[in-house]
Amino acid sequence: MKIAPMLARIAIATLAMTSFAYAATPEELIRPIQEQWAEIKYKAPEKQQEEGYNKLAQQARKLAEQNPGVAEVLIWEGIVLSSEAGAKGGLGALGLAKEARAKLEEAMKLNDKALAGSAYTSLATLYAKVPGWPLGFGDKERAEEYFKKSLAINPNGIDPNFFYGEYLIDRSRAGEAKPYLEAALKAPARPGRELADSGRRQEVQALLAKLNKETK
Give the model's pLDDT for residue 50.
97
Mean of pLDDT values over 84-111 = 96
Q: How confident is the model at residue 23 (pLDDT cuts 50, 70, 90)?
A: confident
Give the model's pLDDT for residue 213.
83
Q: Is the pLDDT of residue 86 over 50?
A: yes
Peptide bond into 191 cis (omega under 30): no
Q: Is the pLDDT of residue 130 over 90?
A: yes
Alpha helices in the chain (DSSP H): 3-21, 26-43, 46-66, 71-88, 94-111, 118-129, 140-153, 158-170, 174-185, 194-214
Mean of pLDDT values over 121-132 = 97
Give the model's pLDDT for residue 10.
45
CATH architecture of 26-134: Alpha Horseshoe (1.25)
Give the start-to-end residue ranges of the domains of the chain: 26-134, 155-216
Give the model's pLDDT for residue 76.
98
Q: Is the pLDDT of residue 20 over 70?
A: no
Mean of pLDDT values over 4-18 = 46
HSE (side-chain half, CA atoms, 13 Å) at 141:
0
Give the model's pLDDT for residue 16.
41
Burial of 65 (0-12, 13-18, 19+ CB in 10 A): exposed
Average pLDDT, the chain: 91
Q: Is the pLDDT of residue 91 over 80?
A: yes
Give the model's pLDDT for residue 215.
75
| Lowest-confidence region among 105-109, 175-179, 208-212 | 208-212
Q: Which of 166, 132, 173, 164 is nearest to 146 (CA)?
A: 164
Q: Is the pLDDT of residue 89 over 90?
A: yes
d(CA 209, CA 187): 18
Mean of pLDDT values over 78-106 = 96
d(CA 74, CA 105): 9
